[in-house]
Structures are given as structure tokens and as C-alpha cells.
Chain A
């Protein structure tokens, strides 16, 4: 158990819909990272938040947005969903705000678009 909690574990929805994925970091960690992993693909960095503020942005689509709340949990919002958005979405957390610290991953949310 990494201490990073992601909900829900599975999500099935249709094209055009909007979903919210949730992540609670490990106790004491202030940074949350979001990644997308498509079938048999690598991990695509989407975005990082540190202590409530956006810290770094990767290959995140405009249809996607995220935020980190005062209690440090984070939500990733995906809208106008397309078939190609089907993937495993991971969040990871680390202690500090710089991307040079160990990240610990949650178990992921598997999103299926029908």
C-alpha cells in the first residue's frame, strides 16, 4: 500500500460526458501529479500541483483540468470525453514541490469510454 488513494477504481461512461477522478496523497505529501497510461503505453505526465497551486504542466488537453484543495486532495476533471480518452489514470504524490523527489503512485482509475 503506497498511501495514495484514488477513487473510483473503475469508471465507465459515454462519449461527450464529463467525469471527475479523485486522489488523496500520502500523509505529509504536498505535491500531487497526474498521469495518463493508455493501453500498452507509457506514462504521460499531465499536471502537477503543489500545496494548492499548479506547479508544472505536461501534455494535458484543454478538455482536462485539475485542482488541489486545501486538504491537499486533488481532482482531475475530464470533459467532452472521446473514445481515445480511455486509459488508466494514475496520481502520484511527493513531499516537496520540485520534480526531483520520489513519487509514490496510487492504484489508478481505469476509465472506459463506450
Chain B
């Protein structure tokens, strides 16, 4: 199938703490893994992506790691801020299509 599994579905952290969201994908041929942030009622916005030839990518407080052998990838947000509160979606290219995880609702408490 084309299921991208994403966990947890909700995540609550204190401001300044780190947050980690994990996704697994079924197809070892998948080669592109983006993460999107979606605020309520708005469009998904690309925040970081990684390709299968790279194990880790970092952009300021956000990083993504990829384990091709285990077919999973993770989003790491450090020093979380209240404005990081949103729904985060992972995605993977599978069989010429593009499939999203079910989303993680992140709540950063001030």
C-alpha cells in the first residue's frame, strides 16, 4: 500500500523543550521526504525536506533525519516556541504518487 504512518497524533511540550515526530514509509524506492506545517484553516507550508542520498539535514531549529534501512524519518524541533504550534505532516514519494502521513498536532505551552 501507500500508507505513510506518522506518530504521535498529538504532542504537547513546554516552550523551550524539543519535539520529535516520526514517520515510516512502505516503499524502499521512495526518495523524497518533505515536512509541512499547517496552521488552522491555512495551506500546508513546506518547512524542510530530505532526499534519500542524505541522512540528515538541518535548518536553524529544525532538523530531519532519514534511516533508509528502517524506512523511517523524523522531524526534530529544538527550543520550541508557541508559534511552532500547528499540525505537522510528513510525506513521501511512493510509486510516482505522493502520500502524506495523518498529521501531528503540536501544542507548545508558554
A and B associate in one complex: yes
Residue in B closest to A104 when the chains form the complex, CB atoms? B46
Residue in A closest to B4 when the chains form the complex, CB atoms? A42
Q: Which residues of A contact B93 (CB under 8 A)?
A: 98-100
Give bound CA distance, A45 to B43, whole Å: 15
Q: Which residues of A contact B101 (CB under 8 A)?
A: 42
Beta-carbon contact of A100 and B44 below 8 Å: no
Binary contact track A84-106/B, C-beta < 8 Å → 1, others 0: 00000010000000111111111
Beta-carbon contact of B98 and A48 below 8 Å: yes
Specify which of A2, A42, A99, A101 is in contact with B103 (CB 8 Å cutoff). Answer: A42
Known: A99-B32, A100-B32, A100-B51. A105 touches B44 (CB 8 A): yes
The 8 A-B pairs with the shortest beta carbon distances in the complex, nearest first, are: A100-B32, A99-B93, A56-B96, A105-B43, A43-B100, A42-B102, A99-B98, A56-B97
A: residues with CB less than 8 A from B are: 2, 33, 35, 41-45, 48, 55-58, 90, 98-108
